[in-house]
Chains A and B, each alone.
Chain A
Amino acid sequence: MFTKSQVLETIDMVEKEHFDIRTVTLGLSLLSCVRATAEETARAVYDRVTHAAARLVPTAEGLSRRYGIPIVNRRVSVTPVSLITAAFPEKSGLVADALDRAARELGIDFLGGYSALVHKGTADYEEKFLRTIPEALARTERLCASVNVGSTRSGINIDAVRLMGELIKETAERTAAQSGIGCCKLVAFCNAVEDNPFMAGAFHGVGEADTVVNVGVSGPGVVLHALKGAPEANLTQAAEIIKRTAFKITRAGQLVAKEAAEILGARFGIVDLSLAPTPARGDSVAHILEELGLESVGGHGTTAALAMLNDAVKKGGVMASSHVGGLSGAFIPVSEDIGMIEAAERGKIGIDKLEAMTCVCSVGLDMIAIPGDTPASTVSAMIADEAAIGMINGKTTAVRVIPVPGKGVGDSVEFGGLLGRAPILPVHEGDAGKFISRGGLIPAPIHSFKN
């Protein structure tokens, strides 16, 4: 059983510390939707998603009420669309439209999987698919795209990295009227995971079952509150506090995930415990790092503090769930974290420190606004750097940057809602064009040969 103080602790987590189930994401295989033409395929995709996810929103709402824990987002991830449209890649936009329409009709805020896995090489149909991404993101509202450009086992596909730099720039230009918001829905990955429930990088891996429920749990505010209760704890004790907190909130995710899977007739996939901040005060990963004793996130010590936080979160989560997966750790987006936003506005954090932090956090350079005139080759070089960190360290890394059209250092950009706001951060001016234009594949590292 449980005590009254434990009940009240749970209620405080929700009402005062922003604890929530961040997303219930239904992963759907679209492999059975391939037809002879793009039009027929798009129709089959629409039917598949609207049928399989018809009860997703009411199910999440019912579970949220039942347990008194908010479920903020209901989402769908699908098989990488490049595989579905391989026979007619130039017409992939029809599937993009079908997915977006399905998402709107179901009341789903984001649908992920307009994706391609090109970490070892780019097939002709994949390159054609990739070139449809900017237009697809510009004309859809809820679709998210991701591209895996490298992995520890295969190396880094620099040809794909070069193309991604161009596509990010084009996406920004095509959505210039909304400050390049299309780039908020476009991620370049290294070591992408196939069961990630969080957007914009969610897709449904081909090794997954047909229909799977993955749940993302968040709670930076809960961790912050727990640490505030022990201001004199040494770092061993602080790690223990984080682990215990992570355990509790992951257990809530596990309960919701199993029930949602049962109700929806799907397989329970994983719980992803990721401290995913929002722009709301009290829901910041940066503030956790500062609570640990840093004057400002971005200063020396930030990487060590984040490493400890990320690891403790994973340990608590692993103990709490039968299947932990996804990214599980701490996210460090800039525009979505009030502590990060303010540190960036004060000039306390820059891209170099953020890059260092990605060596130890669960993802990468995330939601960073950069000058609109940043060359495509520089964006590609940023992706190459991140992919190298992921490849060598055997972890997922990602790049989600927004070259904001018409804006430069000193300006700021407001995306609104959970996407938040951000000052434009400077990038290095040294040209990497020659390096990127060499193309080819950076070979897999020696420690990848484990067979």
Chain B
Amino acid sequence: MKAVVTVTGTDKKGVIARVSGYLFGRDINILDVSQTILGDQFAMMMIADIPDTTDFSLLQDEICELGQSFGMQIRLQHADIFDAMHNV
């Protein structure tokens, strides 16, 4: 399934490296990446292809903890919610 990873917080080095490294370690393919920096605020969205065999809740907990470990907020959500809300 397609999921969206969002990362927000104060800009710092190595954000993309850590997040993509984590996803690589879980055998998750990244389909798209988009990032902006406004002042010192970092915002990134990744679309990831998550295998159906993956425990989604566990992945959410792990990636959230990863974010906390370097002071960023990371969320993982099923992509359908954004399609539903923003497309007719």
State the A residues within 8 Å of B (CB). Answer: 1-4, 6-11, 62, 65-69, 248-249, 251-252, 254-255
Size bracket, chain B contacts: 20 to 34
Comparing B12-20, B22-30, B78-86, the segment that makes contact with chain A is B78-86
Contact, CB under 8 Å: A67 / B81: yes
Contact, CB under 8 Å: B86 / A67: no
Contacts A65-B60, A66-B77 given; 12 further ones with Cβ under 8 A?
Answer: A1-B83, A1-B87, A2-B79, A2-B82, A4-B43, A10-B86, A11-B6, A65-B57, A67-B78, A68-B75, A248-B85, A252-B84
Contact, CB under 8 Å: A7 / B45: yes
Q: Is the interface of A mostly helix, strand, loop or mixed?
A: helix
Report 18 cross-chain contacts, Cβ distance below 8 Å, ordered by A residue. A1-B83, A2-B79, A6-B82, A6-B86, A8-B6, A9-B86, A10-B81, A10-B86, A65-B56, A66-B78, A67-B77, A67-B78, A67-B80, A251-B84, A252-B85, A254-B84, A255-B80, A255-B81
A224-B84 Cα distance, complex, nearest whole Å: 21
Give the 10 A-B CB pairs with smallest separation, nearest first.
A68-B77, A67-B81, A2-B82, A4-B45, A6-B86, A251-B84, A255-B84, A248-B85, A4-B34, A2-B86
B72 within 8 A of A: no
Contact, CB under 8 Å: A2 / B6: no
Number of A-B contacts (CB under 8 A): 60
With both chains docked as a complex, state the minimum distance between the C-beta of A316 and any C-beta of chain B, in angstroms: 12
Contact, CB under 8 Å: B43 / A8: yes
Chain B residue at minimal CB-CB distance from A255: B84
B77 contact set on A, CB distance < 8 A: 66-68
With both chains docked as a complex, state the minimum distance between the C-beta of B78 and any C-beta of chain A, in angstroms: 5
Chain A residue at minimal CB-CB distance from B5: A7
Contact, CB under 8 Å: A252 / B81: yes
Contact, CB under 8 Å: A10 / B82: yes
A11 contact set on B, CB distance < 8 A: 6, 8, 75
B10 within 8 A of A: no
B36 within 8 A of A: yes
A3 contact set on B, CB distance < 8 A: 34, 86
A10-B78 Cα distance, complex, nearest whole Å: 13
B4 within 8 A of A: yes
B76 contact set on A, CB distance < 8 A: 68
**Of listed A7, A10, A69, residue having the most chain B CB within 10 A:** A7
A62 contact set on B, CB distance < 8 A: 57
Contact, CB under 8 Å: A10 / B85: yes
Fill in one digit per residue for B37-61: 1 if any A CB lies within 8 Å of its CB, else 0: 0000001010000000000110010
A52-B76 Cα distance, complex, nearest whole Å: 31
Tell whether A7 pairs with B80 under 8 Å between CB atoms, given A65-B60, A66-B56, A68-B75.
Answer: no
A68 contact set on B, CB distance < 8 A: 75-77, 81
A66 contact set on B, CB distance < 8 A: 56, 77-78
Chain A residue at minimal CB-CB distance from B4: A7
Contact partner, B81, options A4, A8, A69, Cβ 8 Å: A69
With both chains docked as a complex, state the minimum distance between the C-beta of B2 and any C-beta of chain A, in angstroms: 10
With both chains docked as a complex, state the minimum distance between the C-beta of A75 and any C-beta of chain B, in angstroms: 22
B87 contact set on A, CB distance < 8 A: 1-2
With both chains docked as a complex, state the minimum distance between the C-beta of A24 and any C-beta of chain B, in angstroms: 15
A11-B4 Cα distance, complex, nearest whole Å: 11
B78 contact set on A, CB distance < 8 A: 66-67
